[in-house]
Amino acid sequence: MSTSGVEAFTHRFIPPRTPGALTLLLLHGTGGDENDLLQLGHALDPQAALLSPRGQVSERGANRWFRRLAEGVFDTDDLLARTDQLAAFITGAVEHYRLGASRLVAVGFSNGANIAATLLLRHPRLLRGAVLFAPMVTLNDPPMADLSGIGVFLAAGRDDPIARPEQAERLAEQLIERGAAVELRWHPGGHGIDAHILAQATAWLGKLRAATGSAPLP
């Protein structure tokens, strides 16, 4: 079996409701699976295709996207290798499901947001944008990728004990330094997604969708 094609990751695919819609790449948090974020994806954009793979690392039975040595301490070699494997899966899925490569937006929560951010930094032309809920800095010295034309909605909790506020701020800086258009939104809570943030992310995605429909794509 090929390890780079669409069959390399267990996943769910829900076709778009309208031609030319966005595809949301749904990346679950630690302990989730390919079913976890389908409802969230549908709430964010009811027309979008949903591509939802399952992370291949098992941490005492909890699915993740890459290994960690301790809470918030990442195994960088594993992170880089698995980011590349996920990128190959995405490329395979775009071909297999005949998706518009330029209409792909990652939506990640926590560990899923962390691999989404790493995808942006390591494979900058793969995604049109990303919605990052509760992300952290995964690379201290990321490559100087060109992220111009890429939109990122970044949501962080002022009281998040895992993805601390300074992590969101530093990640936003890394992305802005590389040319991404970043919208950083705060909520008062912890490591989660509240209704207010969901509404803001939905509105942001609507703007990205409109821009994607009319503007030349990067």
Q: Which residues are known catalytic residues?
A: 110, 160, 191
Q: Give the C-alpha separation, 114 to 210, whole Å.
A: 26
Q: Report, in Å, the least distance between residue 98 CB and ligand MLT.
A: 32
- 80 is an interface residue for ligand MLT by CB under 6 A: no
Site string for ligand MLT, 132-161 (x = CB under 6 A): ----x-------------------------
Q: How many CA atoms lie within 13 A of 107 on its CB side?
A: 28
- 162 is an interface residue for ligand MLT by CB under 6 A: yes
Give yes or no for a contact between 175 and 120, defined as CB atoms under 8 angstroms apart. yes
Query: Tokens in use for 181?
Result: 């258009």
Count of residues near ligand MLT by CB under 6 A: 10
Stretch that binds ligand MLT, among 11-19, 86-94, 107-115, 193-201 (CB under 6 A): 107-115
Which residue in 11, 22, 23, 29 binds ligand MLT (CB under 6 A)?
29
Question: Which residues, listed in sequence order, are joined to residue 109 by a DSSP beta bridge?
Answer: 133
- 57 is an interface residue for ligand MLT by CB under 6 A: no
By CB atoms closer than 10 A (0-12, 13-18, 19+), residue 18 is: exposed
Nearer to ligand MLT, 29 or 151 (CB): 29
Q: Tokens 């950083």 identify what position? A: 184
- 212 is an interface residue for ligand MLT by CB under 6 A: no
Q: Tokens 């802005």 identify what position? A: 176
Which residue in 23, 63, 83, 114 binds ligand MLT (CB under 6 A)?
114
Distance (Å) of CA 181 to CA 9, 21, 86, 98: 30, 21, 23, 27
Site string for ligand MLT, 60-79 (x = CB under 6 A): --------x--xx-------
Q: Give the C-alpha separation, 94 to 104, whole Å.
A: 9
- 110 is an interface residue for ligand MLT by CB under 6 A: yes
Q: Tokens 């944008």 identify what position? A: 129
Given the rule CB under 6 A, which residues bind ligand MLT?
Answer: 29-30, 68, 71-72, 110-111, 114, 136, 162
